């Protein structure tokens, strides 16, 4: 049994489209437990820490602008291999090609959609999860 915690963000598109409940329900239905939950207006400083690995990439600035465009919902989920499990549930980064049955594949809109509008974030390793949980839940 490998109980882990992960940071999940419901991005501004998910919150604005009233998909928060539907997304959280899928995570809970897979068996993961909600540990913390809050709605947050992110700041540029917070996002710079969160997306540290992407600073300087061509999509960084549009990504940050998008993440500042409305409130996000931040959650900590706990469960057996939840880091990997949530990323599998979320689907691949680009919602256009994310598999049907995944959050991004099912809810990602396909008209003029930008890749950053992919509804959710999930930590990609135990180190990232520890780091990101500290950033969003001090």
User: Are the C-beta atoms of 7 and 127 separated by less than 8 Å?
Assistant: no
Under the rule (CB under 6 A), what is the footprint of ligand DAT? 54, 59, 63, 93, 115-116, 118, 121, 124
The CB-of-136 to ligand DAT minimum distance in angstroms stands at 15
Task: Name, in order, each residue with C-beta under 8 angstroms of 121's C-beta and a sequence gap of 6 or more.
Answer: 7, 8, 9, 11
Active site residue 50: no
Residue 118, marked binder = yes
Task: Judge whether 18 is annotated as a binding position.
Answer: no
Select 106 or 124, whichever has its Cβ closest to ligand DAT: 124
Measured between its terminal Cα atoms, the distance across the chain in Å is 27
* Least Å from the CB of residue 1 to ligand DAT: 25
Other beta carbons within 10 angstroms of residue 59's beta carbon come to: 13
Assigned token pair, 82 = 């939840």
Tell me the binding residues for ATP.
11, 59, 87, 93, 104, 118
């Amino acid at each position: 049994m490998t109980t882990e915690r992960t940071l999940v963000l419901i991005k501004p598109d998910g919150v604005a489209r009233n998909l928060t409940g539907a997304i959280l329900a899928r995570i809970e239905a897979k068996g993961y437990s909600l540990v913390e939950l809050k709605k947050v207006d992110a700041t540029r400083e917070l996002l710079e820490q969160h997306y540290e690995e992407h600073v300087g990439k061509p999509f960084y600035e549009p990504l940050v602008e998008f993440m500042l465009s409305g409130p996000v919902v931040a959650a900590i989920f706990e469960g057996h291999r939840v880091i990997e499990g949530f990323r599998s549930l979320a689907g691949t980064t680009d919602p256009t090609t994310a598999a049907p049955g995944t959050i991004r594949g099912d809810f990602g809109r396909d008209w003029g959609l930008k890749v950053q509008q992919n509804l959710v974030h999930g930590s990609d390793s135990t180190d990232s999860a520890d780091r990101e949980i500290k950033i969003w839940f001090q």
